[in-house]
Structure 1
Amino acid sequence: MFHLNLGVHDDPTVHLTVLQLLYTYDFPTVIASASTALEILPVALELLFEDCVKACVKFLEAVPWSEEEEKRVLSLIPLLREEESKELLARVSPGEDDFYEEMLHGLIEKAMYSQPNMAFVKVFVAKLLRDFSSRESARRVLERAFDANLRIVKESLEQYSSPDFRGDHNETEAIQRLHLHTAMTNGRHLLWLVERMIELKVADLAVKQWSEQAAFTVDLQKAFRDDAWRNIVPGLPAVMLRCTCKLASAVAAGTILSSRQVRMKLVKDWLPVLISCKDNVSPMLPSHKTLYLELEETFLRIISTLPMSDAQVLLQQCLSFSTRNVEDCPHLVTAFNTWFRRASQPPQMENLG
């Protein structure tokens, strides 16, 4: 068999095909698949057959590639001139350093604001975050989204809690409803973000921020004392408490290692919100009761990690956890037993000397 040894391909039929194209120029008929273009291209380059090279590149620019074909394209790009490889390179190479994170951030935005299949999109984006984000890139994009949504929720509740009554009553009421709906929508987004941050072990800054919301928690308590939210966003208290419970549970479990100050402020600021919800949210659904109990237990576990002076103050605020039957609140009994057991111990500082 006749064999052209051009040093670029072992299959002589490919060389013969390229030689035929020198005479026929029938590129559309011959170059009909990515694999064919990839076989012909190196031979055309070796023979300096520019028109054939252009035809192969043009075809490769326009069609999808398999993963194996993409590897072959990448190996051939260095052999092409800059203007020839520009479009191929643009497909496989990000042009900016933050390209990767911008994609992840865009996916998170779509997950939160896509309609109507938001739940399905969130599940899929959560998988992408698990599979493709490094810990640091996940941290940056999730913190960015968390900051933005927390700011919206805070501003909405602040405006709801301090309304401007100078306008028409109906207009004011409509604006108030909008503030509550905005807080609820973005509160749900916050909960999803918190879950992702905990899952990827990047929630330490979120916990710190959540512990620094004294003004926000006051606005929440004001809102929950008002009856308007009941018919507009009845799920708002549960969403806010679920965010708190997720973060607090991660702290109590040691998944997030927070400083004493953060742990203390987390309980100090959010405990009144829990108490306000228990006092003002009725009727209490079974799911609410379970959530309240879980958060009570979690707060008490965190309190047990604090210095006794801090625990003393916070435990007194937890008396509202008590029930008609003492046996029904073992978590509260255990917390006070622990504090009094420690209080009865002789001071240890003298022994340290």
Structure 2
Amino acid sequence: MAQLHLIFGDQEMADVMLKLIPSEGPKLSPLYLHSQALRKSEFFEARLSERWSLADGVRPIELTLSDCQNVDGYVKCIQMMYSLERFTFSSVQEALALLQIASELLFTDCLNSCMQYLEADFNPLNTMGEILSELLSLVSNGASSKAREITKRVLHDNMQITTSPTFADVNKSSLFRELQNNLDIVKSQLYKFANYFSWNSYQISIASSALCWLLDEMFALEIADMAVKMIAEEQELAQLVVSRIYPNPFTETLFEILIRLLQALQIGQVICQRSVRLSLVKTWLPVIAKLTHDDEYLIKDNELHNSLEEGMSSLVTTLPMADQEQIFKIWISACLRSKKAWPDLSTTFDMWCNKLRQAQCEIDLGPSLHLSEASDPHSIICSSKDHTYP
């Protein structure tokens, strides 16, 4: 029988019946194959040399699969034994999967083809990106402390001075993508929560834990500026959080994240543009005001309460007068109209008002103000004897 005429699945010409037995799951229908094709595998060559009864018609072989999740991989590998052309692979993942199976079946031709494909396609950056994505996905799905420890070590080793600086970019893109994935999970569940649909508290809990871990790592690696910008501009999340306030399953984590960002900005751990700092306050000040003004929800943790208020006040002082005006209009509208009047930005507001008065003094004094005094706003003294102000 010529090799050219062998066709995978041709039951009439088959002389071997192969039963693939998964270690778990349902039984599979047997494959009717040809010994001439299977002999390309040393494993099958050895099995075909065993004694069998001619009365059976076809030679039965049973193969217990070591990887019950990849039955298709075994079938694909066997199909390749029929091929007269060069083996091709759709992706690195397929080549890696078939490499393991070809090694088990001692299918040398396939084994060599997998190695050649992987070597030709090998790209350290892409490989690191794929590995990091898998590791970070484990973290996002509630992985063990060991998995988080390994992931952290890979991230930090990528930033070593002896490592190519391009690996730092792999860290950034991988962490940013995983951060966005977890935010999307939270938003999806909050949408269901806000609309009284069936929602999954466990998913929010796991995603919340992952968000905090990812942010900590981004700060530790000094690449958290992207995360601050993303959260500062997250209008959709802000709207969802206040769509149904009590008992919001994400509020505590949200406050913890905001405090982390505000404190990092306050001590200079992360440097962000003015527009990002302004967006952070404009997006989240009305949210935290509404959450804490709701009669059914109160911040029970005084330390959390004080940290959030202090961080917000400190950030406002880093902004120009015109930006502060926008913020204080929000503060007056969203906070002071409530009996709780929280967060309390009154000290920062008083400082801003004093700057307005000082600025007007400078305008009114005009050319008579000495240059040395003009350079220091605190040296300006407005005397009621010389000037009258409305």
TM range (shorter): 0.5 to 0.7
Choose the corresponding residue for 2:153, options 119, 127, 131: 127
Higher relative contact order (CA 8 A, sep 6+): 1
* Contact 2:299/2:305 (<8 A) preserved: no
* Contact 1:274/1:292 (<8 A) preserved: no
C-alpha distance 321-106 of structure 1, shift in aligned 2 (>3 A)? farther
Relative to structure 2, which stretch is displaced further, 127-136 or 301-310?
127-136
Choose the corresponding residue for 1:340, options 327, 335, 353: 353
Deviation at 1:291, TM superposition (A): 1.7
In the other structure, the counterpart of 1:22 is none
* Contact 2:282/2:327 (<8 A) preserved: yes
In the other structure, the counterpart of 2:283 is 269
User: Over residues 86-144 of structure 1, what are the superposed CA-to-partner deviations in whole Å (9 max), with x where a residue is unaligned?
Assistant: 999999999224111221222221222245x3x45324422332233443221111011
The answer to whether residue 109 in structure 2 is matched with residue 95 in structure 1 is: no
Residues 310-349 of structure 1: matches in 2 within 5 Å?
310-318=323-331, 320=335, 332-346=345-359
In the other structure, the counterpart of 1:70 is none
Structure 2, unaligned stretches of length 5 or more?
1-111, 160-166, 375-390
* Contact 1:111/1:122 (<8 A) preserved: yes
In the other structure, the counterpart of 2:243 is 222
User: Over residues 198-239 of structure 1, what are the superposed CA-to-partner deviations in whole Å (9 max), with x where a residue is unaligned?
Assistant: 111111221111111223211101222x44x4xxx4xx2111
CA distance in 1, matches of 2:330, 2:303: 20
In the other structure, the counterpart of 2:175 is 142
C-alpha distance 139-303 of structure 1, shift in aligned 2 (>3 A)? same
- Secondary structure at the aligned position of 1:285 is classed as coil
Q: Which structure is higher in helix share?
A: 1
Rg comparison, structure with higher value: 2
Choose the corresponding residue for 1:295, options 291, 294, 308: 308
- Secondary structure at the aligned position of 1:254 is classed as coil
The answer to whether residue 194 in structure 2 is matched with residue 161 in structure 1 is: yes
C-alpha distance 95-264 of structure 1, shift in aligned 2 (>3 A)? same
User: Over residues 243-272 of structure 1, what are the superposed CA-to-partner deviations in whole Å (9 max), with x where a residue is unaligned?
Assistant: 222223222333322222211111111112
Give the percent of matched residue pairs that are identical in Structure 1 and Structure 2. 21
Amino acid at match of 2:300: L
* Contact 2:286/2:331 (<8 A) preserved: no
- Secondary structure at the aligned position of 2:318 is classed as coil
Choose the corresponding residue for 1:285, options 289, 300, 312: 300
Amino acid at match of 2:274: R
Give the length in aligned residue pairs. 243
Structure 1, unaligned stretches of length 5 or more?
1-84, 164-171
C-alpha distance 99-322 of structure 1, shift in aligned 2 (>3 A)? same
* Contact 1:204/1:256 (<8 A) preserved: yes
* Contact 1:158/1:216 (<8 A) preserved: no
Residues 1-353 of structure 1: matches in 2 within 5 Å?
95-96=122-123, 97-115=125-143, 117=144, 119-133=145-159, 134-163=167-196, 172=197, 175=198, 177-178=199-200, 180-224=201-245, 226-227=246-247, 229=248, 233=249, 236-280=250-294, 282=297, 284-286=299-301, 289-318=302-331, 320=335, 332-346=345-359
CA distance in 1, matches of 2:331, 2:146: 39
In the other structure, the counterpart of 1:50 is none
* Contact 2:158/2:168 (<8 A) preserved: no
Aligned CA-pair RMSD: 3.8
